[in-house]
Amino acid sequence: MGSILRIAALLCLALPISAVPFDQQIITRPNDGSQRIKNIMTPEASHGGLYLCSGAGFVGHCEYYRTAFGSCITITDQFPTGQGGVNGVNAAGADRGSWCTLYANSNCQGSELQVHYPGYDDLRKVQWRAKARSYNCAAE
């Protein structure tokens, strides 16, 4: 009976990871927003990761994006300025092995800010508080 429980427990752990296609955008939210989420999947050479939070210090409403290099992602739905307690993007960090460009407008248009690992814990330091509306990533 004990071995059946161990097998069932292992299957429960394996199912959530294997159920998500590797090239799909993966968004996760930390429980308290106080720590950055690390990739649990092995990074693929054609994808980059970007961690964004509404609060300086990587707190508040946070999202982790994993996207194909060169794909433009508009984030205004996840980070609306001044709505529902979310006040735009105020902290940003790219995964090791990739860098991302934040854009001031949707569709990867407008002024730009490049984000390399470990990123910016407070975008006010570089005059980019709540400016990000879209992004794309590339390999280092």
Look up the domain containing 55 and give its range: 21-139
Range with the poorest average pLDDT among 21-30, 43-52, 59-68, 90-99: 21-30
Could you tell me if residue 53 is inside a domain? yes
Could you tell me if residue 5 is inside a domain? no
pLDDT tens figures, 50-70: 999 999 999 999 999 998 999
CATH code of 51's domain: 2.60.20.10
Sign of the CA dihedral with 125 first, then 76, 62, and 108 last? negative
* CA dist., res. 131 & res. 111, Å (int): 9
DSSP state for residue 89 in the 8-state scheme: -
Task: Quote the tokens at residue 72.
Answer: 């433009």
* CA dist., res. 35 & res. 40, Å (int): 15
Domains of the chain: total: 1
Residue 7 confidence (pLDDT): 43
